[in-house]
Amino acid sequence: MGGLAGVTAGSSAICTCGLGNGLNYRGYAIQDLALKADFEEVAYLLLVGELPNKAQLKDFQRKIIAGRELPISVKNVLKSIPASSHPMDVMKTATAALGCVEPEAEDFSDQMAKIIRLLGAFPSFLVYWHHWHKNGREVCLKSDETTIAGFILERLKEKKPLAVEVKAMNAMLTLYAEHEFNASTFANRITASTLSDIYSCMTTGIGTLKGHLHGGANEVAIKFVLQFDNVEHALKSVDELFARKEKIMGFGHRVYRNLDPRSPVGFELANELKELETSDPKLFDIAKAIRDKVKAEKGLPDNIDFFGGLIYHYMEIERLYYTPLFIMSRAAGWAAHAFEQRANNRIIRPSSEYTGPEPRDFVALEDRA
């Protein structure tokens, strides 16, 4: 089957999606996790298997905060990466550099410590590179913000984020944290199945996520919405796209046929953020009108990427940073899968259906036409 759609490629206790009961992380509904828990609680759940108690969460957060500072050698690597580089390549390179400086033990005995370190470091990679190349200076990686969501917003924009922004960023990190055997997670598990190190697993995931058919859909979705002046203009354009049988990014999903369970959360977050002084509420009205039209006329539900792009736009995040934010979220899921694969491992080596020529005799170079 094309793209292995419908093929069961392994077993996992981490996540269910599209099985008739929505999206669940370790048995907990995504809607509850996104709106009732901090991302750190969700990351702990994915990595350990249970939600943390207060003491466990405090210790987990303390270790993540300690992981925000970067070695001088990694900072020098970030300085040397050109400003013209794609931010996903920045994240991939910095991850590999940290792996050189602080390698994982060969017996994986420190795997949890390494991923906690990376959860702290991932936002710092982007923040440090951004300020060095955009503002021409180093940025301090210390912050009073205790959550990953707050740290990203505060250090990237260098001003205290609003509570509604932290809430939205926190929820977005949770919504994107895990999604079963998607392309980047499966690639990550393949790397883990070779018993490679956690940094290699992460860079495998990052490289796969960079592809336009996986990460980046929310970038395209918000770019589409931003081109319209009003609802009427948007709906006319949608009709023209329908007539040309062209796709609109942010709609439909291979797993979810009727509803992406993350989408209602994204819709409500965008609805809250449109009230910010810096936000243009008209964009929400346009996006909602497009959503309703596509659903009514084509039967396609919106996925999390459609309103996800608007959420980041309302928080004034640069568009090319949307997918690096995806890394900071999905890393928890990638690591959980890497741990699970290593714990009960057999190298992933599928077979292919051969479509080439039948066996034939070798022809010497001088006898070839």
CA angle 226, 210, 29 (to 5 degrees): 80
Catalytic residue among 89, 110, 133, 214: 214
CA dihedral 167, 173, 175, 178 (to 10 degrees): -160
Spatial distance between the Cα atoms of 77 and 94, rounded to a whole number of angstroms: 7
How far the first Cα of the chain sits from its last, in Å, is: 38
Structure tokens at 242: 């329908």
Nearest to 218 by CA among 122, 321, 289: 321
Active site residue 214: yes
Q: Which residues contact 318 (CB under 8 A, 6 or more apart)?
A: none
Spatial distance between the Cα atoms of 124 and 121, rounded to a whole number of angstroms: 5
Cα-Cα-Cα-Cα dihedral sign, residues 77, 82, 86, 87: positive
Sequence-ordered alpha helix ranges (H) in 49-86:
54-66, 72-80
Cα-Cα-Cα-Cα dihedral sign, residues 339, 341, 343, 349: negative
CA angle 263, 237, 288 (to 5 degrees): 25
Catalytic residue among 179, 253, 313, 337: 253
Residue 27's identity, in one-letter code, is G
Q: Are 265 and 34 a contacting pair, CB within 8 Å?
A: yes
Helix, strand, or coil (residue 28): strand
DSSP string computed for 16-30: EESSSS-EEETTEEH
DSSP letter at 149?
A: H
DSSP letter at 2?
A: G
Active site residue 337: no
171 phi and psi angles, rounded to 5 deg: -65, -40
Q: Which helix (H) or strand (E) holds 15?
A: strand 15-17
Active site residue 253: yes
Q: Which residues contact 247 (CB under 8 A, 6 or more apart)?
A: 241
- 65 vs 59, 61, 332, CA distance in Å? 10, 6, 16
Catalytic residue among 38, 260, 302, 305: 305
- Residues annotated as catalytic are 214, 253, 305
